[in-house]
């Protein structure tokens, strides 16, 4: 009978776990929907920005900005976006893998590496790996503002201006759909502009107050918008991944409970049979 009791406590504890995981699943699902909305809301700005940058790259300005000029890569910078919290499946590990792979290929070419991390998971992992983390941002919450990325991005832009890095990459999870999130490495600097179809005549903007001032501000905002979008997308991915992970945890708990129930019933049956045979044997002896 002790065995049956033990199984029963085990079932209880798994049932409690299942309650928690299914609650987490539902929370993640509703947060994911909100995060997806935010992701969609942020898209037009990114698209417009990209358009303007494409126009800019194909104009023939009197002043070429440093961010548009390619240069030899001796030092490489990364901005790595990860989640603050765990329990979201292989999401962060996938990002780490792709960063480490990318980093290795640069390291083989003799490039030094610097990193800015957004999210606690990334900073913990890369610090343990001994990567030079120059700045970090953590606990931005589920609904970060565009201003939250200004600090970390500015650190890297300044490093690029000062020649401390020659390439800048952004790594985050790309939200393909609820089931699929793919780690994505994107080059931020030098700027890779979209191709424009028609470019026949020479033209340039009228700049106010002057080209340098306008371009500085514009390109800074461009990089920030890309990082912000990566961040928002990563949050949607995090919630989706957590939802999937918690769903499978809930399913697994259900299976386990079924198995244990079977074992419990068997044990109970065995105990009853034994008791009966004992009574019968006792009665026969009298």
Partner 1 sequence: MAMTMHVDIVSAENEIFSGQATMLVAPAQMGEVGIMPRHSPFISRLKPGEVRVDTPDGEGLFFYVSSGVIEVQPNIVTVLADTAMRAKDLDEAAAREAIAQAERAMHDKQANIDYAKAQAQLAEAMAQLRALENLRKRTR
Residues of this chain that bind partner 1 (CB under 8 A) = 2-3, 6, 38, 41-42, 44-45, 48-49, 51-52, 55-56, 59, 116-117, 123-124, 127, 133-138, 145-147, 150-152, 154-155, 158, 203-209, 213-214, 217-218, 221, 224-225, 228
Q: Which is nearer to partner 1, 9 or 109 (CB)?
A: 9
* Residue among 73 and 207 whose Cβ is closer to partner 1: 207
Contacts of 77 (CB under 8 A, 6+ apart): 113, 114, 115, 116, 156, 159, 160, 164, 165, 167, 168, 169, 189
Least separation in angstroms between residue 223's CB and partner 1 is: 12
Report the C-alpha dihedral over residues 158, 163, 169, 170, rounded to 10 degrees. Answer: -10
We find the least distance from the C-beta atom of residue 151 to partner 1, in angstroms, to be: 3
Nearer to partner 1, 194 or 251 (CB): 194
| Paired tokens of 220 | 């800074």
Contact criterion met (CB below 8 Å) for 72 and 162: no
Residue (of 72, 241, 65, 273) closest to 161 by Cα position: 65
Least distance in Å: CB of 286 to partner 1?
30
Least distance (Å) between residue 37 CB and partner 1: 9
Give whichever of 52 and 262 is closer to partner 1, judged by the CB atom: 52
Half-sphere exposure of 124 (CA within 13 A, CB side): 11
Least distance (Å) between residue 117 CB and partner 1: 8
């Amino acid at each position: 009978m002790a065995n049956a009791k033990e199984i029963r406590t085990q079932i209880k504890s798994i049932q409690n776990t299942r309650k928690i995981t299914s609650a987490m699943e539902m929370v993640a699902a509703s947060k994911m929907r909100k995060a997806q909305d935010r992701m969609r809301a942020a898209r037009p700005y990114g698209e417009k920005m990209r358009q303007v940058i494409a126009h800019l790259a194909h104009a023939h300005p009197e002043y070429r900005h440093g961010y548009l000029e390619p240069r030899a890569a001796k030092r490489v910078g990364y901005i790595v976006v990860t989640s603050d919290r765990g329990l979201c499946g292989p999401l962060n590990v996938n990002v780490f893998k792709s960063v480490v792979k990318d980093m290795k290929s640069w390291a083989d070419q003799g490039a030094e590496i610097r990193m800015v991390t957004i999210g606690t998971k990334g900073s913990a992992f890369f610090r343990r790996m001994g990567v030079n983390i120059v700045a970090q941002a953590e606990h931005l919450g589920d609904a970060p503002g565009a201003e939250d990325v200004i600090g970390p991005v500015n650190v890297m832009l300044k490093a690029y201006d000062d020649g401390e890095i020659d390439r800048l990459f952004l790594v985050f999870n790309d939200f393909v759909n609820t089931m699929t999130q793919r780690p994505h490495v994107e080059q931020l600097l030098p700027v890779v502009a979209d191709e424009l179809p028609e470019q026949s005549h020479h033209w340039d903007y009228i700049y106010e107050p002057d080209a340098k001032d306008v371009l500085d501000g514009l390109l800074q905002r461009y990089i920030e918008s890309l990082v912000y979008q990566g961040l928002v997308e990563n949050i949607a991915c995090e919630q989706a991944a957590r939802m999937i992970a918690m769903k499978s945890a809930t399913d697994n708990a259900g299976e386990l409970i079924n198995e244990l129930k079977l074992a419990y019933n068997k044990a109970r049956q065995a105990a009853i049979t034994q008791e009966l045979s004992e009574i019968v044997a006792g009665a026969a002896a009298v």
